[in-house]
Amino acid sequence: MKHIILSLLLTSLAFVTPLYAQDAASGMEVVEGAWVRSTPPNMKVTAGYLSLRNTTDTDRRLVGARSTVSDRVELHTHIHDMQTGMMQMRHVEAIELPAGETVALEPGGHHIMIMNLQMDLQPGVDVPLTLEFDDGSTLDVMAPVRRVTGGGHSHGGGHHRHH
């Protein structure tokens, strides 16, 4: 019952929060639709993606994120391990947002790891994300859940090493 109520609450928020988000205080805007990867039943980890534009004339940094669907959210990137030849996921303290530029958080690159999920995430649910910037400002974004099939990078398998 708890999952149904939380799912209904999150879905209802989609009607009051735009998918395009901008915050004059932070000088950041989401220019490519935010989305979160769907999860199979009982999966406790997923990833969120979006493109952020820094509309200011000062370099900035995305330093964190949080969500009501999880008690642990981190910024991650993928790197190519020269020794093994495999892509590996790594936690990063911040993602650089150069002045006047757009930075993509996308599969295979920078992304938002959402861990310790409190519910299964399926299409039709919108995930609230609060992005945190180096100046203390925040930007609230609603990210719809999408099902990804085929190729894509997995965020639940055992082939990633977290550091």
Per-residue pLDDT at 122: 96
Q: Are strands 22-23 and 87-91 parallel, antiparallel or unpaired?
A: unpaired
Q: Domains in the chain, start-ordered, CATH in brackets?
A: 2-145 (2.60.40.1890)
Q: Which residues of the chain have pLDDT under 50?
A: 1-20, 22, 152-163
Q: What pLDDT, in 10s, does the model give residues 135-160?
A: 999 999 999 999 987 654 444 443 33
Q: Hey, what's the torsion of the CAs at 69, 73, 77, 81, to 10 degrees?
A: -100
Residue 36 has a CB neighbour count (10 Å cut-off) of 24
CB under 8 Å to 22, separation ≥6 — which residues? 28, 29, 30, 55, 139
According to the model, what pLDDT value does residue 46 have? 97
